[in-house]
Amino acid sequence: MANQFEYKSFTDDNHYIQLCAEVMAIRARAEQPMACIRTYGCQQNVADSEKIKGMLFEMGFGFTDNADEADFILFNTCAVREHAEDRVFGNVGALKNIKRRHPSVIIGLCGCMMEQKHVTDRLYRSFPFVNLVFGTHSLHHFPELFYNAVTYGKRVYETGIDDKTVYEGIPTRRDGQFKGWLPIMYGCNNFCTYCIVPYTRGRERSRRFEDVVREARTMIESGYKEITLLGQNVNSYGKNLEENVTFAQLLSEIDKIDGDYILRFMTSHPKDCSKELIDVIAGSRHISTHLHLPFQSGSNRVLKAMNRSYTREKYLDIINYAKEKIPGVSLTSDIIVGFPGETYEEFCETLSLIREVEFTSLFTFIYSPREGTPAAKMPDPYTHEEKSKWFSELLRVQEEIAAKRCASMVGQTVRVLVEGKTDKDGILTSRTSGNIIVDFPGDEALVGSFVNVKITKARNWILNGELADQ
């Protein structure tokens, strides 16, 4: 089978970067043009923002968190839940004053929300001071769009899904010095009935095997200590590729690269999570002993209505296999409370599942209807108040489980990556392979390196420790 998608090189048409650099050198309010990029939502958005920053950097931009001193303000938006959308509209409204003070500022919006017509219609109607709007499929086009927005003085809108092409070679400016995201695929084919992502990011496209491995090698060689492979459903990596490769094979190929680093990945989908993958983790040198495997609901009826394509039993089967093969495996999950029509009894099946698995931590969400998804049309008889009560019950149960899990680690010596300083003087913060935070006293010079730490105390889901023999 040939690759189903076309692979193109960004460097073939990036002369707009030079043009933007020339025009911004003249237009900038200070010596150097400044950009303020605010990112909402998931890691995929963070990774996209890092590419936009890469292109802006090549145009000569510096970066600031202060929107008032920026020549370009960009919000990279998320459409997964209503709350995130409301925040974006509120924050865009607030930019009007900045535009009044500094009329030359270019205001842009991009990301998943921009792939929803009702959103772009509202923006066009109600926020005329927004100069540039582009969707998730226009990243490679950003320099040209930006140039047009700056020079034509008209609003530039480019949205719409082109999920036939994968662009390689877009410059990236990573936020982290030693922790980095590495997208391995884009889009999603699963159409879970509550989820907007397949509509905003299009069909699933895997990057080529050798391109991913090469980027991982470059990151490791340039000092990255933690690499997280990203995709909406990493377990189906490779399905559109000519070569017959699986995600497990990709992980195991990267794991062969020598160096002092940890390899993470997210997000896994239980329907495609193979035992082969668990075996690769169990036998690896660098892969974290952490599996983020969202189950969303513990009820088979609800799972079916969500179109998740697995059952509670199949989920537990893979979890039990992971527990057996990866000693001390740390499990996390995403959960939706109050999917349309979910009853309290069905919600209790979610509770019983989390008790059975004993997750390290959970990302929990109250169902949020998304226009255009099948679930948004389903009868939803329970009130938000009722769902909020269930939600609080879930948090209480998980708190107990996390506390017990963390307490069981006291006395152990674990290897951690030191991530930075805490607010407290002389206390560093770090993360175990299982993705659990450990704070301990130590010298700032340790930031960015791996050390052994003995766990002395558990504080709910955070651990305290002290440096152990190295």
Residues in touch with ligand SF4 (CB under 6 A): 188, 190-192, 195, 197-198, 232-233, 269
Q: Which of 80, 254, 273, 302 binds ligand 5AD (CB under 6 A)?
A: 80
Are the beta carbons of 132 and 75 closer than 8 angstroms?
no
Q: In the complex with ligand 5AD, which residue's Cβ is closer, 140 or 370?
A: 370
Q: Is 54 exposed, middle or buried (0-12, 13-18, 19+ CB in 10 A)?
A: middle
233 binds, among ligand SF4, ligand 5AD, none (CB under 5 to 8 A by kind): ligand SF4
Q: Of 234, 111, 241, 256, nearest to 184 (Cα)? A: 234
For every residue of 394-427, which 3-state class applies, written as one string? HHHHHHHHHHHHHHCCCCCEEEEEEEEECCCCCE
Nearest approach, Cβ of residue 438 and ligand SF4 (Å): 30
Q: Which residues touch 60 (CB under 8 Å, ≥6 apart)? A: 21, 24, 25, 32, 33
Q: Does 51 bind ligand 5AD (CB under 6 A)?
A: no
Contact partner, 367, from ligand SF4, ligand 5AD, none, Cβ < 5-8 Å per class: ligand 5AD
Contact characters 429-448, ligand 5AD, x per CB under 6 A: --------------------
Coil, strand or helix at 207: coil
340 binds, among ligand 5AD, ligand SF4, none (CB under 5 to 8 A by kind): none
Q: Least CB distance from residue 370 to ligand 5AD, whole Å?
A: 5
| CA atoms in the 13 A half-sphere facing the CB of 189 | 15
Please state, in angstroms and rounded to a whole number, the distance separating the CA atoms of residues 57 and 67: 17
If one asks whether residue 370 binds ligand 5AD (CB under 6 A), the answer comes out as yes
Nearer to ligand 5AD, 75 or 367 (CB): 367
Q: How far is the CB of 439 from ligand SF4 (least distance, A)?
A: 32
174 in contact with ligand 5AD (CB under 6 A)? no
Using CB under 6 A, which residues numbered 308 to 337 contact ligand 5AD? 334, 336
For ligand 5AD, the binding residue among 180, 183, 294, 434 (CB under 6 A) is 294
Rounded Cα gap, residues 257 and 235, in angstroms: 21
Q: Which is nearer to ligand SF4, 336 or 414 (CB)?
A: 336
- For residue 356, the 8-state DSSP code is H
Closest distance to ligand 5AD from the beta carbon of 311 (Å): 18
DSSP class per residue in 211-271: HHHHHHHHHHHTT-SEEEEE-TTGGGTTTTSSS---HHHHHHHHHTS-SS-EEEEE---GG
Q: Which of 432, 430, 433, 431 is nearest to 441 (CA)?
A: 430
Please choose which of ligand 5AD, ligand SF4, none residue 254 contacts, taking the beta carbon within 5 to 8 angstroms, the exact cut-off set by kind. none
- Look up residue 115 and give its two tokens: 């792939």
With CA atoms as reference, report the closest residue to 445 among 418, 424, 413: 418
**Is position 367 an interface residue for ligand 5AD (rule: CB under 6 A)?**
yes
Residue 220 · residue 227 · CB < 8 Å: yes
Q: Quote the CA–CA distance of 167 and 228 in Å, as a whole number.
A: 20
CA 58 to chain centre: 24
Partner touching 232 among ligand 5AD, ligand SF4, none, CB below 5 to 8 Å by kind: ligand SF4
| Chosen from ligand 5AD, ligand SF4, none, partner binding at 172 (C-beta under 5 to 8 Å by type) | none
Find the part of the chain contacting ligand 5AD (CB under 6 A) among 71-79, 216-224, 324-332, 363-371: 363-371
Closest residue (Cβ) to ligand 5AD?
334
* Contact of residue 81 among ligand 5AD, ligand SF4, none (CB under 5-8 Å per partner type): ligand 5AD
Q: Does 371 bind ligand 5AD (CB under 6 A)?
A: no
CA distance 281 to 293: 14
Helices (H) and strands (E) in the chain, counts: 13, 21
| Residue 81 in contact with ligand 5AD, rule: CB under 6 A | yes
Q: Please choose, from the candidates 363, 318, 354, the residue with its C-alpha nearest in 3D space to the C-alpha of residue 336.
A: 363
Binding of ligand 5AD at residue 465 (CB under 6 A)? no
Which of ligand 5AD, ligand SF4, none has residue 269 at its interface (CB below 5 to 8 Å by kind)? ligand SF4
Which does residue 368 touch among ligand SF4, ligand 5AD, none (CB within 5 to 8 A, set by kind)? ligand 5AD
Amino acid at the residue 347? F
Which of ligand 5AD, ligand SF4, none does residue 145 bind to, with CB < 5 to 8 Å depending on kind? none
Contacting residues toward ligand 5AD, per CB under 6 A: 80-81, 194-195, 294, 296, 334, 336, 365, 367-368, 370
